[in-house]
Amino acid sequence: METTLIILKPDAVQRSLVGRIIARLEDKGLQVVGMKLMRIDEALAARHYADHRQKPFYPGLVRFMTSSPVVVLAVRGLGAITICRNLMGATFGSKAAAGTIRGDFGVSNSFNLIHGSDSPEAAAKELGLFFAPGEVVDYSRPGDAWVYDTTGGRPE
């Protein structure tokens, strides 16, 4: 099982899309194992987006991400990173396919509703930025027997 970071960005919060987006993740069979509403300050935004610091869009990105509350999630599932990124859709809402979060709810190339880690390494780093030890919770869900086929001895 993988655990990944998802951020529902200020536009998702301000547009009251949080519940609808979380429902899509859960409807797919993913498990929310951490969640909080928070304001990202400039220092945290700088750490999270450090790889983009020299890019021209960086100041606007930090301004956007610190402008309003966000919802951060730790989401777990088999192949969770790839599944979440597929559910999110292409980066720009105007180019995202219908049926994806960005394709159904977004049109902007700047306000793109959701962030998801792009690799296991990024997920580990990002989860550490947004969740303190103990804030990501392990728990079993009896319904997982209907999400994953375990007849072969391991979930698939």
Q: What is the pLDDT of residues 47-60, one digit of tens each?
A: 999 999 999 999 99
Pairing of strands 114-116, 70-77: unpaired
pLDDT exceeds 90 at position 150: no
Q: What's the rounded Cα separation, in Å, for the pair 72 and 57?
A: 22
Which phi and psi angles does 65 have, rounded to 5°? -70, -20
* pLDDT of amino acid 78: 96
For domain 2-134, is the CATH number 3.40.190.10?
no
pLDDT exceeds 90 at position 151: no
pLDDT exceeds 90 at position 153: no
Higher-pLDDT residue of 83 and 108 is 83
Catalytic residue numbers, as ranges: 115
Beta bridge partners of 76: 3, 31
pLDDT exceeds 90 at position 109: no
* 148 phi-psi bin (left φ>0, alpha ψ -120 to 50, beta other): beta
Q: How many CB atoms lie within 10 A of CB 107?
A: 13
Tokens of 58: 């960086």
- What is the share, in percent, of the chain residues with pLDDT greater than 90? 86
Residues 2, 80 contacting (CB under 8 angstroms): yes
Tokens of 152: 């072969």
Q: What is the pLDDT of residues 61-102, one digit of tens each?
A: 999 999 999 999 999 999 999 999 999 999 999 999 999 999
Q: What's the rounded Cα separation, in Å, for the pair 84 and 143?
A: 20
Domain-by-domain residue ranges, the chain? 2-134
Mean pLDDT, residues 110-126? 96
